[in-house]
Structure 1
Amino acid sequence: MSFTTDPRPGPADCMTMTEVRQGVDALDRLLVSVLAERQRYMDAAARIKQDRAAVRDDARIEDVVAKVRAAARAAGLSEEIAEPVWRILIERCIAHEFGVWDALRQTAS
């Protein structure tokens, strides 16, 4: 999928590796932007959660992974790519949220 304002070629339109790399590089920049927004939601969660034990929620992790697997199937993304990527993303986000949670409470003390 390519956005109308996005200059990257669609995968089916690529005729050279330069075009493929151009598309991948553009998508990487987009992914970084989206992941930065996701991180800001983790910052908000750290601010909102009153109990440090609430930062890690195993039921929520499995819910997110199930939703990601379904979205991957619908989008034509291999679940074998999506699930491990999201599990790592979730773990790193939890670690980030713990750090933010702790920092917010230390400065408030």
Structure 2
Amino acid sequence: MQKTPAECTTMADVRTEIDRLDRALMMLFAERWGYINRAAEIKRPLKLKADIPARVAEVRENAGRNAIELGLEPDFYERLWAQLIDHSIAQERKLLGEDEA
């Protein structure tokens, strides 16, 4: 049974909930990855590049804004998202054959 942080009375409770959340985050990342792959499929016939700087800036700004709205430290999450974006662009480049050029 899922517990809120306040309902956790032992470290085992806390660890169980962190593990549950980590799994949920991984599931969301896997879902996001599906969209990255689909983006490459859509970009190919449109002759779009993997790296679209305006979109990269928008996603990074969204990460910082979302962090602030949720009471999280924006610099950390902007850096985390920068890694996520870089990894996503690398995957799109691979799928689009940009690495071969």
Aligned pair partner of 1:56 in 45, 51, 54: 51
Partner Cα distance (1:95, 1:63) in 2: 18
**2:3–2:17 CA contact under 8 A, matched in 1:** yes
Q: How large is the RMSD of aligned CA atoms in angstroms?
A: 1.4
Partner of 2:12: 18
Structure 2 unaligned residues grouped into runs of 5+: none
1:88 deviation in Å?
A: 0.6
Identity percentage over the alignment? Answer: 35
Write out per-residue CA displacement over residues 55-80 of structure 1, whole angstroms, 9 at most, x where no aligned residue: 10122111111111111111122213
Partner Cα distance (1:8, 1:83) in 2: 29
**How many pairs does the alignment contain?**
95
Write out per-residue CA displacement over residues 42-95 of structure 1, whole angstroms, 9 at most, x where no aligned residue: 11111011336x210122111111111111111122213311111111111111
1:101 deviation in Å?
A: 2.1
Which aligned pairs between 1:6-85 and structure 2 lie closer than 5 A? 7-50=1-44, 51=47, 54-85=49-80
Partner Cα distance (1:38, 1:90) in 2: 11
Partner Cα distance (1:74, 1:19) in 2: 27
Aligned pair partner of 2:96 in 91, 101, 104: 101
Higher relative contact order (CA 8 A, sep 6+): 2
